[in-house]
Chains A and B, each alone.
Chain A
Amino acid sequence: MDVMDASVVKLGTDPDTGYSSFQLGSFTFRRDEYFAHVGWPKGMHTIEVDRFLRAMVRDIGWGFFYGWIFFDDVFGTTNHYGTVDIFAGSYDRGCKEAGIDLLETFPAATVAQAFETIARDWISEGYDPLNAPLETGSPAGPKGKERTDPLVRSFIAADRMLGLEGDKLVRSDETGHPINRAFADLSFDAPDIVCEPGFEGQLHAIDLFEHIARSDVTWNPSISAVTRANICCVTSEEHMLPVIHGNDRNEWFIQLSDEIHWNVADKNSGAPRGRVVMKAGDVCAMPADIRHQGFSPKRSMLMVMENGTPGLEVRYASGELKPYPVDFD
Chain B
Amino acid sequence: MKDRYGLIFLVVLALTGIGAPLLNQAVPEGSALYLSPYAMTLIGKYMCYAMLALAVDLVWGFCGILSLGHAAFFALGGYAMGMYLMRQIGGRGVYGNALLPDFMVFLNWEQLPWFWYGFNRFWFAAAMVVVVPALLAAVFGWLAFRSRVTGVYLSIITQALSYALMLAFFRNDMGFGGNNGFTDFKDLLGFDLQATRTRAVLLALTALALALSYIACRALVASRAGRVVRAIRDGESRTRFLGYRVETYKLWLFIISSVIAGIAGSLYVPQVGIINPSEFAPINSIEVVIWVAVGGRGTLYGAAAGAILVNYAKTILTGALPEVWLYALGALFVLVTLFLPTGVIGLLPDRSEAS
A and B associate in one complex: no
On A, residues with C-beta under 8 Å from B are none
